[in-house]
Amino acid sequence: RVNLRAPALLCAAVLPEMRSRGHGFVVNVASEAGVVAYPGFGAYAVSKFALCALTRLVAEENQALGIKAWAICPGMVDTPMTADAADDVRRRFLRVADVVGVVEGLLLQDDNVMLGPEILVRTMRNPWA
């Protein structure tokens, strides 16, 4: 519920003001599991796929109004959620700063540049290998 409902409610709350201003950014945090189907992720993957669909809809319906929307889809990130992974594996995870850097880059793009709306952020090497 939280993975889709909260972003949907937040978009509904902020989009009217963005539309009236003629400018704005929506950045939803999805997951690699929202772009690539992984067995065993069930409801989590479905909710992240749905978040990507919501973001695509927001982007398409609002791009002519100066609003950009992205679903950031990171692979495994070294956070408390992944703290139970072995240290040698966690060292190969993305860092929060990696994901933040991607978002900062998106926000600096010229108005004429369209990227996404799904932005897949992965490590160069499989952390599990």
The whole-angstrom separation of Cα 124 and Cα 102 is 15
The whole-angstrom separation of Cα 63 and Cα 44 is 28
Q: Which residue, chain included where needed, has tokens 């919501």?
A: 54
Q: Is 38 tagged catalytic?
A: no
Q: Quick check: 26 and 69 in contact, CB under 8 A? A: yes
Active-site option among 44, 79, 85, 98: 44
Contacts of 108 (CB under 8 A, 6+ apart): none
Q: How far apart, in Å, are the Cα atoms of 68 and each of 94, 110, 112? A: 25, 11, 11
Q: Quick check: 31 and 55 in contact, CB under 8 A? A: no
Mind telling me the catalytic residues? Answer: 44
